[in-house]
Chains A and B, each alone.
Chain A
Amino acid sequence: MKNLLEKGRISTRQLAILIVFMTVGDSILILPSLTAEAADQNAWLSVILGGALAMPVLWIWGALARFYPQANLIEIVQSLLGKWLGGAVALYYSVYFFFVAAGLIRELGDFFTIQILAQTPLRAIHLLLLFVLAWGLAKGLEPIVRTGELFFPWFLLMLTALIVCLTPNLRPVNLKPFLSEGISPVLHGSLYVLVYPFAELVALLMVLPYVNRKANTKRDYYLAALFGGLIMLIIVLFSLLVLGPFLTSNQVYPTYALAKKVNIGNFLQRVEAVVAIIWVLSTFFKTAIHSYAFLLGMAETFKLQGYRRLIGPYVLLQFGMAYIITPNFTFYTDVLYKYWPFWDLTNALLLPLILLAAHAAGRKRTAVKA
């Protein structure tokens, strides 16, 4: 099933970079606080556990991609589930990607208006972000991915600089007591790690068919996710080591508080706004891929001639949705804490499993027929 809508091709290295960006994504903003709220000083264990639990999920997607190498997620759904059910599930997935993107735009807007630009209205930030997003989407998948490739060294450099500059402030005593409340809080925290960095990667299933497959693609797919998880582990670990468990769970954006702590010889200090750039980058690429997944999904579901024409209405929709998706900050945090993880798991774990089962059933039927 050669796709006529998307003619771009991306290399394995670009895919790996994309995975790292998407894993770090908005998790670098929200994950330390969520896991520390759940698991206190053992939040770093949650990250390890969550990362381990994510590997089977990645494997399930890999299996789907292997059985249908040329088809993106929507095409798989439509071919396995038929015209009407498949169309419904395809539309459902597109709507899911849309809402994830809306949430991400809102999260970035919230971050700016809480920490840096307090009197600026959310809509101004959203407008700027949507403008860049629309421009990127209009150019296509390949330019977006190539931009990611361009920014990746800077992203890594700033992250490394942040980590290095924080090492004088580490206090290992903050990690004790080790597992004093048992494994249950760690499991709780690992739910967020499983979902926000990893399960939300399911949008990549829309992009995987356009990757030039090489011998190392499969290996790099897992390695990139692990690398992203490693970055998250370091961030959560450093938050705990430098700020302590109470501040990590109580601060809205612990990574910003971390960046505030950088002070080299009273000269290199107050650099937190510069560090915020890396978070904007990672959130942007996650939003871009989810937006792309939505647009491509809509085009596939309704068998349209192209997806670029939908960018205009999409921007209007997101401008509105990013604003109304939550009436206030508290509600959004509550949803992220209690309900959103399960929606992510349904779409990233349950539905792909059902698709795999449908695939296996289909194969058995043809085998029986033959």
Chain B
Amino acid sequence: MIGLTVILLCVAALIWKTLLPMLRRGEFRDGVVFSVMLAGGAFFSFFAANLIPFPAPLHLLVAVYKPFSQWLFSAMGWKS
């Protein structure tokens, strides 16, 4: 609860101090990128602040490189 509040406060502060002036100046592309990053940040920070488990992005990395890694380790006889 307190985590969510703090995150929302930070988001609000960032929007007020950074996003609104950007939009006022007409920098819409910046605004979009900013908002996407902010939304992602709030999303992930929510999980972090409340200690909720979330599947790690590194699993994607493992999935991509596992075949090559396994082949290399066994071909070179390296310790696993």
Chains A and B form a bound pair: yes
Quick one: CB contact mask for A295-312 with B, threshold 8 Å, 1 for yes? 000100011111001101
Main secondary structure of the interface of A (DSSP, over half): helix
A306 to B11 CA separation, bound complex (whole angstroms): 20
A324/B30 in contact, CB under 8 A: no
Judged by a CB distance under 8 angstroms, whether A152 is at the interface is no
Please name all residues of chain B whose beta carbon is closer than 8 Å to the beta carbon of A310 when the two chains form the complex. Answer: 33-34, 37
B79/A188 in contact, CB under 8 A: yes
Q: Which of B10, B45, B58 contacts A325 (CB 8 A)?
A: B58
Within 8 A of A (CB), among B44-65: 44-49, 53-58, 61-62, 64-65
A327 to B51 CA separation, bound complex (whole angstroms): 10
Q: What class of interface size applies to chain A in its complex with B?
A: 35 or more
Judged by a CB distance under 8 angstroms, whether A246 is at the interface is no
A317 to B38 CA separation, bound complex (whole angstroms): 7
Main secondary structure of the interface of B (DSSP, over half): helix
Q: What class of interface size applies to chain B in its complex with A?
A: 35 or more
Please name all residues of chain B whose beta carbon is closer than 8 Å to the beta carbon of A187 when the two chains form the complex. Answer: 76
Judged by a CB distance under 8 angstroms, whether A319 is at the interface is yes
A123-B48, A184-B78, A320-B41 in contact; A312/B61 too (CB < 8 A)? no
Closest 9 CB pairs of A and B: A320-B44, A316-B41, A313-B37, A323-B48, A317-B41, A320-B45, A312-B14, A313-B38, A324-B54
Residues on A close to B: CB < 8 A?
Answer: 37-38, 99, 123, 184-185, 187-188, 298, 302-306, 309-310, 312-317, 319-327, 331-332, 335, 338-340, 342-343
